[in-house]
Chains A and B, each alone.
Chain A
Amino acid sequence: MDVVVQQTVNALALGGTYALLALGLAMVFSVLGLINFAHGELMTVTGYAMYFVLTAGLPFEIAVLVGIVAAIATAMLMERVAFRPVRNAGTATMLLTSFAVSTILHMLFQNLISARPKALPVPDWMIGALNIAGFDIGVIQLMSISATALLLFALTVFLRRSTLGIAMRAASLDFPVTRLMGINANMVISTAFAISGLLAGVAGVLWLAQRGSVDPLMGFLPVLKAFIAVVLGGLGSLSGAVLGGFTLAFIEVALRAFLPDDWLPFRESIALALVILLLLVRPEGLLGRKEAIR
């Protein structure tokens, strides 16, 4: 019983991080039709921003705040500088542009900062565990779960209640008609990037708190997982991205916990095989639409 609760907490915490990242990818995809491969670099930006703030001797809380703001600003800057000029050139061009942005950022990190990892010491109070109802639950896990829940709730309220939120959902269904409602195309897209930056920033903080270091390529693996989550959940579906993130995490954690030891090296491949199996059964993803409405 104890193991099950413990592993569920682990899966929820990891799933939350995947879900936040996947949701950011899906958000941009839903309004722009772009899978932003530079999304992982937003986490890296968060990491370096935190590193500089901590090196300057400022408290961890400030570093978290600056890290998240840096991710939001970078996401919006990416949109403005790299994606807006090629917006009408087609999705293939935008996709290539996002590869270029990702590569340029890698090179900047390597040449201006360092190719080697920089330590990001987390405060002592985050390392321990709390005893909740007889279970020892890691503080970082607890933070992951609550941050994810809070962000998902806030985002849902924003998308359901605010005019801009409704406009973003409308834009994901029919962009030209959304503009006919008087809604500024740049505003919608810029907001989508800002939200993706916020989500990547928070995911970045949670990821970094686990790892304790930042390096130029750290964004690659999590964004790959997020991409798998998006496809698993159904490309274009926001709730699908969240569900995909949690599903992937549960598969990974279950394999890590219950696979025999000599199978452990293959757990990533087994996880991917399971995902492919799910997609064979439901090619449109867990919550994807069978066909476009238009």
Chain B
Amino acid sequence: MSNEAALLSVEGLVVRYGAIEAVRGADLSVRQGEIVTLLGANGAGKSSILNAIMGLVPVAGGRVVLEGNDVGGEPPEKIVRRGMTLTPEGRRVFANLTVAENLSIGAATRRDRAEVEATRSDMLELFPILAERRDQLAGTLSGGEQQMLAIARSMMSQPKIVLLDEPSLGLAPQIVDTIFELIVRLRDRGATILLVEQNVELALEIADRGYVLASGAIALEGSARELSASGDVERAYMGAH
């Protein structure tokens, strides 16, 4: 069952909140260099999966395997040090910290100052608006800018894999396009990405593979091409209700 070539594989993951079973035995995997998207309606359990992978909520069953190591149950700070990070739903930038400080803290796990500065100029080049706003408080940025900052902040730790939780949430369509272009550029620079989305069309456009989650279980999986060609995604979505 376990995929040896996978950078991250999740096997039979269960997440519970008290009596509620939000995720009921989900399997998924992400290989080096891929964009994999995890789709599903509101409340399907997408964030629960990402939060459990990162150790923010307890893993009630199953395994989370990163580069061959079972990291299930480890605290988030330890998992980040292993090279996996999450850009959380709703961006959650540190509003009372400046843009520059938000980026600095993203690199808190790294010791080499020169290398950190190299990543920082990399990110400021990729997200030029952040360079313009570097001394502004993050709370004063627009939603799209905050999303860019949240992604850049995650990339400051030079993760092997980054989990993005609904980067399009609450953003105008034009801004969403920009964000998705940036995600593709990140992949082109070698990033591996697990992308949680409700924007099915756009997500399948940039992803290599996809999974559809309905009521806490994987209802459908396949290559992005297969998924967008068939009408099954819509049907799996409907199945959630």
Q: Do A and B bind each other?
A: yes
**Which residues of A approach B to under 8 Å, CB–CB?**
163, 166-167, 169-170, 173-174, 176-185, 293-294
Distance from B40 Cβ to chain A, minimum over Cβ atoms (Å):
22
Chain B residues closer than 8 Å to A169, beta-carbon distance: 94, 96-97, 101
Contact B97 A173 (CB under 8 A): yes
- How far, in whole Å, are A182 and B108 apart by their CA atoms in the complex? 7
Question: 15 A-B Cβ contacts within 8 A?
Answer: A169-B97, A169-B101, A170-B97, A177-B88, A179-B56, A181-B80, A181-B106, A181-B108, A181-B153, A182-B109, A182-B157, A183-B105, A185-B75, A293-B95, A293-B96
Which chain B residues in 49-100 approach chain A with CB under 8 Å?
Answer: 54, 56, 75-77, 80-81, 85-86, 88, 92, 94-97
- How far, in whole Å, are A293 and B77 apart by their CA atoms in the complex? 23
Distance from A10 Cβ to chain B, minimum over Cβ atoms (Å):
34
Chain A residues closer than 8 Å to B88, beta-carbon distance: 176-177, 180
B139, CB-defined interface residue at 8 Å? yes
Contact B77 A170 (CB under 8 A): no
**Which residues of B approach A to under 8 Å, CB–CB?**
54, 56, 75-77, 80-81, 85-86, 88, 92, 94-97, 101, 104-106, 108-109, 139, 153, 157
Chain B residues closer than 8 Å to A178, beta-carbon distance: 94, 105
Contact B85 A166 (CB under 8 A): no
Contact B77 A182 (CB under 8 A): yes
Chain B residues closer than 8 Å to A166, beta-carbon distance: 97, 101, 104-105
Contact B86 A170 (CB under 8 A): no
Closest to B55 in A: A179
Chain B residues closer than 8 Å to A180, beta-carbon distance: 54, 56, 76, 80, 85-86, 88
Most buried by B among A170, A174, A185: A170
Closest to A184 in B: B77
Chain B residues closer than 8 Å to A184, beta-carbon distance: 77
- How far, in whole Å, are A182 and B82 apart by their CA atoms in the complex? 10
Chain A residues closer than 8 Å to B92, beta-carbon distance: 174, 177, 294
Contact B94 A179 (CB under 8 A): no
Q: Which 4 A-B pairs have the closest CB atoms?
A: A182-B109, A182-B80, A179-B76, A293-B95
- How far, in whole Å, are A293 and B95 apart by their CA atoms in the complex? 8
Closest to B85 in A: A180
Chain A residues closer than 8 Å to B157, beta-carbon distance: 181-182
Closest to A174 in B: B92
Contact B76 A170 (CB under 8 A): no
Chain A residues closer than 8 Å to B153, beta-carbon distance: 181
> Given A167-B105, A180-B86 in contact, is the A174-B76 Cβ separation under 8 Å?
no
Contact B77 A173 (CB under 8 A): no
- How far, in whole Å, are A184 and B81 apart by their CA atoms in the complex? 11
Chain A residues closer than 8 Å to B76, beta-carbon distance: 176, 179-180
Contact A182 B81 (CB under 8 A): yes
Chain A residues closer than 8 Å to B80, beta-carbon distance: 179-182
- How far, in whole Å, are A154 and B146 apart by their CA atoms in the complex? 31
Chain B residues closer than 8 Å to A177, beta-carbon distance: 88, 92, 94
**Residue in A176, A179, A293 whose CB lies within 8 Å of B139:** A293
Distance from A285 Cβ to chain B, minimum over Cβ atoms (Å):
16
Closest to A160 in B: B101
Chain A residues closer than 8 Å to B75, beta-carbon distance: 179, 185
Distance from A284 Cβ to chain B, minimum over Cβ atoms (Å):
15
Chain A residues closer than 8 Å to B56, beta-carbon distance: 176, 179-180
**Residue in A163, A173, A185 whose CB lies within 8 Å of B94:** A173
Q: Apart from A180-B85, A181-B153, A184-B77, list 5 A-B contacts with CB within 8 A.
A: A169-B94, A173-B96, A174-B94, A183-B105, A185-B75
**Residue in A176, A181, A185, A293 whose CB lies within 8 Å of B105:** A181
Contact B104 A163 (CB under 8 A): yes
Chain B residues closer than 8 Å to A182, beta-carbon distance: 77, 80-81, 108-109, 157
Chain B residues closer than 8 Å to A163, beta-carbon distance: 104-105, 108
Chain A residues closer than 8 Å to B94, beta-carbon distance: 169-170, 173-174, 177-178
- How far, in whole Å, are A233 and B59 apart by their CA atoms in the complex? 41
- How far, in whole Å, are A178 and B97 apart by their CA atoms in the complex? 12
Distance from A2 Cβ to chain B, minimum over Cβ atoms (Å):
43
